[in-house]
Amino acid sequence: MIVLKLGGSAITEKDRPETLDGKSLATAAAAVSSAFGATNDNGGGNAIDDLVIVHGGGSFGHHNASEHGVTTTAGSHDPAAVHDIHGAMTTLNEFVLSRLLEYDVPAVPVHPFSTAHRDADGDLTLPSQQVATLVEEGFVPVLHGDLVAHAGEGVTVVSGDELVVDLARSLDADRIGLCSTVPGVLDDADEVVSEISSFDAVADILGESEATDVTGGMAAKVQALLELEPEASIFGLADIEPFLAGDEPGTTVR
């Protein structure tokens, strides 16, 4: 089982509201299709048969969430906020699904707003048996950063990264891939750090992402991934295909 995250900034123009990066999305879809199709042609049984995709919000979700003042902890009780933010994310999800279907990936939508919730402490519950069943039946479920019901707060944001970490645990994933706009975690000389095994060793080179991002940047990603059992790779668009083929491109967090 592989959980692949397509970063919101990798598939959208993050600085321009609700603007798709169509070329990057097509590159990602082609890479997924190639890995998925190659396995099917060989009749093989390797991990690429079981794939879950999660995409971020990029310029679709973050600007809307900022306008409504909604974050992962500060909520809203306004149905218009749900309509705007969740609506923008489902619009992006439809673009991602359409492109994957064009490339013969059997992608189907799973909207976190319809299934997940947070308790009063903010702890996320994300049912995953529907995702597991879809995977077993040969589909590729595609989740996304979204809003979720939050006890006492109305609705709050759930990031793609939080979903990836939760799904990796509940689905007992073998590998996690995070496709970003950069080829990995970069050091001070802009070289890719090939391996990270503790946060302290890289704390000084990890900053926040520059564009509006209500859900944290690279530092938060690395911290969350370090707590997981399976290895995780952070890489750029060009490395989706080698990652799915079993390589360890970019930065490996273990």
Could you list the residues known to form a binding site, using ranges: 5-9, 57-58, 62, 160, 217, 221
**Beta carbon of residue 19, minimum distance to its own copies (angstroms, whole number):** 23
- 83 DSSP 8-state letter: I
Nearer to its own copies, 109 or 230 (CB): 109
Q: How many residues are present in the chain?
A: 254
Indicate the burial class of 137 (C-beta count within 10 angstroms; 0-12, 13-18, 19 or more): exposed
Q: Which of residues 155-194 bind its own copies (CB under 8 A)?
A: 155
What is the spatial distance between Cα 134 and Cα 69, in angstroms, rounded to a whole number?
34
Give the span between the Cα atoms of 97 and 69, in whole angstroms. 28
**Residues numbered 126-145 forming contacts with its own copies, rule: CB under 8 A:** 127, 129-130, 133-134, 136-139
Site residues (CB under 8 A) for its own copies, limited to 62-101: 77, 79-80, 82-83, 86, 97, 101
Q: Which is nearer to its own copies, 114 or 212 (CB)?
A: 114
Of positions 34, 37, 38, 106, contacts its own copies by CB under 8 A: 106
The C-alpha atoms of residue 138 and residue 4 are separated, in whole angstroms, by 16
User: What are the residue ranges of helices labelled H in the chain?
Assistant: 8-11, 22-42, 58-67, 79-81, 87-102, 129-136, 160-170, 218-226, 240-244
Q: Which of 38, 47, 111, 182 binds its own copies (CB under 8 A)?
A: 111
Quick one: 24 or 93, whose CB is closer to its own copies?
Answer: 93
What is the rounded distance in angstroms from the CA atom of residue 228 to the CA atom of residue 222? 10
Residue 150 within binding range of its own copies, rule CB under 8 A: yes
Nearest residue to 52 via CA among 124, 113, 126, 138? 138
114 binds its own copies (CB under 8 A): yes
Binding segment (CB under 8 A) for its own copies, from list 103-111, 201-209, 210-218, 238-246: 103-111
Q: What residue ranges bind its own copies (CB under 8 A)?
A: 77, 79-80, 82-83, 86, 97, 101, 106-118, 125, 127, 129-130, 133-134, 136-139, 148-155
